[in-house]
Structure 1
Amino acid sequence: MESSSAWIIVMVVSILLSAFFSGMEIAFVSANKVRVEIDVKKSGLINRIIHVFYNHSDMFISTLLIGNNVVNVVYSIAMSALLTEPLKHTAVGSNEVLMLLLITLISTVVILITGEFLPKAIFRINPNYSLRMFSLPLFMCYLVLYPISKFTEWISQGVMRLLGIKADKSEIGSLSLEELDAYLQENIDKKEDENVEVDREMKIFENALDFSDTHLRDCMVPRNEIVGVDIADTTRDDLVQLFGKTGLSKLVVYHDDIDNVLGFISVSELFVTDVNWKDQVKPVLFAPETMLAKVMMQNLLHEKRSMAIVVDEFGGTAGMVTLEDLVEEIFGDIEDEHDRNRNKLVARQIGDNTYEFSGRKEIEEINEEFHLDLPESDEYQTIAGLILHELEAMPNEGDHIEVEGGYTLTVLRKSAARIELVRVVASGNNDKEVHDE
């Protein structure tokens, strides 16, 4: 009886240690590396210990695996001692092979559930906290098992050299863009949930990371909002009036139609009265919608240009983008004459779960500002684009559509070629239907 009690204690301790090593392994590999890097810069015993773990990551992982294997072997011995005698008095007791298989099956199921699946699921919930919580006992295990880990590493390196295999020294300390972005988004979401204003520096950092994946179609001025003039029938007086009316500093210049862009004219060129304004038209760059914004910025800077025309797959003008537009993708809105029309975009809550937005308002901005969950897609960027994507036709005023997420979108005002104002009502219906009022 005393022997059975001792084996039970050994088995329980082995399971706990196995759960500990398995959980800490998943906590180590799942921990947010940015947060770890920030923490290890601070003083304190725990931070110094974690710094040791990440500076010697190969040895640390080896220690965890060795510790887990050792306690699993001890666990197997204990389970065998506990189950052998009771199973002898069952139907399989006369067959040693069946009894061995049954003991193996029971032992495997128990250790997989209690020593692998459960601890890994629990430690993965908050890996950084788990790593800090158990870093001290883990460091003690690390010191105890270090000689064994060092010996096994020496053996494995010798075998690899004999086989001509070069060890890949991975840099665990290097941070990926995904890890930086995840850390920033986590902090931004936390501050938004607490209704705390997000630091401008943090937003700029996040925008800079997102900028690497931004395409021109995501930040261009669309075709129907381009202000341009036909070089054939526009006089200097016409330009003066148009510059004064729009408040812009640059106008696109085309021949016959907007699909044949020649360049742009700056308001400063009008001060040179003794030169034909048509001779002052400056060239623009041309780029496809799919070009990355960061590549376009490099091209503009290299060519010393300030404007590019974005073309679609058929060679027609899809929109335009300026150097300022690209800079704003990182630093946010820069107030100048170009933003006057943009600032007029409607975005307001008019009641419980009821909102009104300009058709040109981007869905990503709406979801972020009003904490909504309107469906986003690469097929469109604006709320008007969402409606057109669903209807595949131009709606009439009063038409409304129900989209994924339980939102009803109603067209309040439109012109011949664009949706100008949309009402959004949050509801519980997820079916997509079109109605005429």
Structure 2
Amino acid sequence: MTIEAVIAFLSEYWLTLASVLGLLLCSAFFSGSETALTAASRARMHTLEVNGDERAKLVTALIARRDRLIGTLLIGNNLVNILASSLTTSLFLGLFGASGVAIATLVMTALLVIFSEVLPKSWAIAAPDRFALTVAPFVRLVVIVVGPVSSLVNWIVRHILGLFGVNLSSEMPMLTAHEELRGAVDFLHREGSVIKADRDRLGGVLDLGELEVSDIMIHRTSMRGINADDAPEAAVRAVLESPYTRMPVWRGSTDNIIGVVHAKDLLRALAEPDVEPENLDISRITQKPWFVPDTTNLKDQLNAFLRRKAHFAIVVDEYGEVQGLVTLEDILEEIVGDISDEHDLEIQGVRQEADGSIVVDGSVPIRDLNRALDWNLPDEEATTVAGLVIHESKTIPEERQAFTFYGKRFIVMKRVKNRITRLRIRPADDAAMPPPLTQGEGRE
């Protein structure tokens, strides 16, 4: 085609070509706006809105009606795409005859994919907040004009889906606020923006409402208490030698908790005139015990501790039987991890072996193991590692018996009566260690 022919073509069809170019720009605007507004950080927009940014306020208002926003942008995008394709097809039919349809299809597909989809969406996803703030005023005008049509389309879509039993409600989010926050934290951790310790702390706060007191309590078999019928000097010695500041006091049996003694109260009593360890009545300085159900979730229990200004509670089951005890520190440790002081007993519950395996005490909580090693062992049906092995194997294993589930190999190293006290854990595909003499397979 000569230069004169090109000039003649442009002078005759310049309006059509300018219209197609303008429609492609509109299509890019709709595509980029949809990507940016759906990917924009709501928390960032809220912060900017509080600081007085009017554009952030517009973005927040648009996102609040996400279904109306998406519908409007899709209607606009499809309208300009179809119109641009129609104009191009009409133009090419006049130039190339019947083959113009195929040529127009190829040309418009390439132009729309590159300049109206990939390019603007890549730009928007690279800086969604900035892009959203820029386009928000223009998108608001489009929503005002096309919004009613979008609402009608959404109404039709909901009723059609309702015929198939699909309830599509704009007021019913797919994820709860906690799930969204947890997902965001996990995503940022994988990207390296949030370190593991911070992720675990935030996860601990979010988990409080899902865990019960029974999941973190000190079990009755591990409780240290004082018998009120023992000699006074023995009770005083037990309190002073204990690493704990509060201890339950029982009489007759460990199920009959009559009070809780605080080390400070004991020291104050011993400081009084004419009071010696031999004549001290331990039951007179005990505080009234506080009993809580084992099904109380940790969020409610934490609030109860703060409301009562208490640090210690006895846990009972539905029959009123003592199951263990829980402290404020136990709940705080679910958030910040293990809290140790100079008087705590050092317990080696988890040990890394030279061959890469992990030796674990059976009483180690699954949540603690997951947090320490970044594992994902389930803790819904069992609280401790030993409980998990028993639950999965549906039996009380013998020593040196092994089970494989959740990608790990659990080998029972020591059992005392019906309690598993020590296990070795290694990856299920690790063939470096020789198999145990007796093996039983749990489910994968």
Q: Distance in 2 between matches of 1:409 and 1:5?
A: 76
Compared CA separation, residues 178 and 77, structure 1 to 2 (3 A): same
Compared CA separation, residues 337 and 221, structure 1 to 2 (3 A): farther
The equivalences for 1:207-246 within 5 A come to 207-231=204-228, 233-246=229-242
Counterpart for residue 95 of structure 1: none
Counterpart for residue 76 of structure 1: 82
Q: Quote the sequence identity (%).
A: 22
Compared CA separation, residues 20 and 225, structure 1 to 2 (3 A): farther
The equivalences for 1:140-159 within 5 A come to 142-143=137-138, 146-147=140-141, 149-150=143-144
For 2:392, the aligned partner's letter is E
Q: Distance in 1 between matches of 2:354 and 2:34?
A: 50
Residue number among 293, 297, 304 corresponding to 1:299 in the alignment: 304
- Determine whether 1:319 maps to 2:320: no
Q: Distance in 2 between matches of 1:434 and 1:7?
A: 80
Q: Distance in 2 between matches of 1:126 and 1:381?
A: 48
- Determine whether 1:34 maps to 2:43: yes
Unaligned runs of 5+ in 1: 91-105, 158-169
Q: Distance in 1 between matches of 2:293 and 2:13?
A: 76
**Residues 242-283 of structure 1 deviation map (CA, whole Å, 9 limit, x = unaligned):** 335543332222344333333322334444345521233322
The equivalences for 1:7-406 within 5 A come to 17-18=26-27, 21-22=30-31, 24-25=33-34, 27-37=36-46, 52-54=58-60, 57=63, 65-79=71-85, 129-132=126-129, 134-135=131-132, 138=135, 142-143=137-138, 146-147=140-141, 149-150=143-144, 176-191=177-192, 198=197, 204=201, 206-231=203-228, 233-271=229-267, 272=269, 273=275, 275-336=280-341, 339-340=344-345, 343-351=346-354, 353-373=356-376, 375-405=377-407
* TM superposition shift of 1:397: 2.4
Q: Distance in 2 between matches of 1:317 and 1:186?
A: 42
Unaligned runs of 5+ in 2: 1-5, 100-104, 152-170, 270-274, 440-444
**Residues 376-395 of structure 1 deviation map (CA, whole Å, 9 limit, x = unaligned):** 13111221221121233333
Q: Distance in 2 between matches of 1:305 and 1:137?
A: 53
**Residues 360-381 of structure 1 deviation map (CA, whole Å, 9 limit, x = unaligned):** 22223323332334x2131112
SS in 2 for 1:344: coil
SS in 2 for 1:282: coil
Q: Distance in 1 between matches of 2:31 and 2:294?
A: 48
SS in 2 for 1:248: coil
Q: Distance in 1 between matches of 2:248 and 2:300?
A: 22
Is the 1:345–1:361 Cα contact (8 Å) retained in structure 2? no
**Residues 141-185 of structure 1 deviation map (CA, whole Å, 9 limit, x = unaligned):** x43x6555445679999xxxxxxxxxxxx9xxxx94444444444
* TM superposition shift of 1:68: 3.8
Compared CA separation, residues 353 and 151, structure 1 to 2 (3 A): same
SS in 1 for 2:409: strand
**Residues 188-215 of structure 1 deviation map (CA, whole Å, 9 limit, x = unaligned):** 444499xx6746xx76555434334432
* TM superposition shift of 1:310: 1.6
Compared CA separation, residues 399 and 208, structure 1 to 2 (3 A): same
Compared CA separation, residues 67 and 186, structure 1 to 2 (3 A): closer
For 2:375, the aligned partner's letter is L
Cα RMSD of the aligned pairs, angstroms, is 4.9
Does 236-245 or 289-298 show the bigger shift? 236-245
Does 310-319 or 203-212 show the bigger shift? 203-212
Number of residue pairs the alignment of both structures matches:
381
* TM superposition shift of 1:66: 4.2
SS in 1 for 2:353: strand
Q: Distance in 1 between matches of 2:385 and 2:290?
A: 29
Q: Distance in 2 between matches of 1:266 and 1:336?
A: 18
Does 415-424 or 23-32 show the bigger shift? 23-32
For 1:357, the aligned partner's letter is V
TM-score under structure 2 length normalisation: 0.66
Q: Distance in 2 between matches of 1:229 and 1:378?
A: 33
Is the 2:30–2:77 Cα contact (8 Å) retained in structure 1? no
TM-score under structure 1 length normalisation: 0.67
Is the 1:19–1:114 Cα contact (8 Å) retained in structure 2? no
Q: Distance in 1 between matches of 2:27 and 2:298?
A: 50
Compared CA separation, residues 310 and 58, structure 1 to 2 (3 A): closer
Is the 1:380–1:389 Cα contact (8 Å) retained in structure 2? yes
* TM superposition shift of 1:298: 3.0
Counterpart for residue 427 of structure 1: 428
For 2:412, the aligned partner's letter is V
* TM superposition shift of 1:423: 1.0
Compared CA separation, residues 367 and 324, structure 1 to 2 (3 A): closer
For 1:248, the aligned partner's letter is Y
SS in 1 for 2:236: helix
Is the 1:362–1:381 Cα contact (8 Å) retained in structure 2? yes
Is the 2:315–2:325 Cα contact (8 Å) retained in structure 1? yes
For 2:350, the aligned partner's letter is A
Q: Distance in 2 between matches of 1:12 and 1:290?
A: 66
**Residues 32-88 of structure 1 deviation map (CA, whole Å, 9 limit, x = unaligned):** 423555678899xxx9855642356569986765454234224334545677979x9
Does 256-265 or 7-16 show the bigger shift? 7-16
Counterpart for residue 3 of structure 2: none
Is the 1:307–1:320 Cα contact (8 Å) retained in structure 2? yes
Q: Distance in 1 between matches of 2:422 and 2:14?
A: 76
* TM superposition shift of 1:425: 0.8
For 1:235, the aligned partner's letter is A
Compared CA separation, residues 26 and 262, structure 1 to 2 (3 A): farther
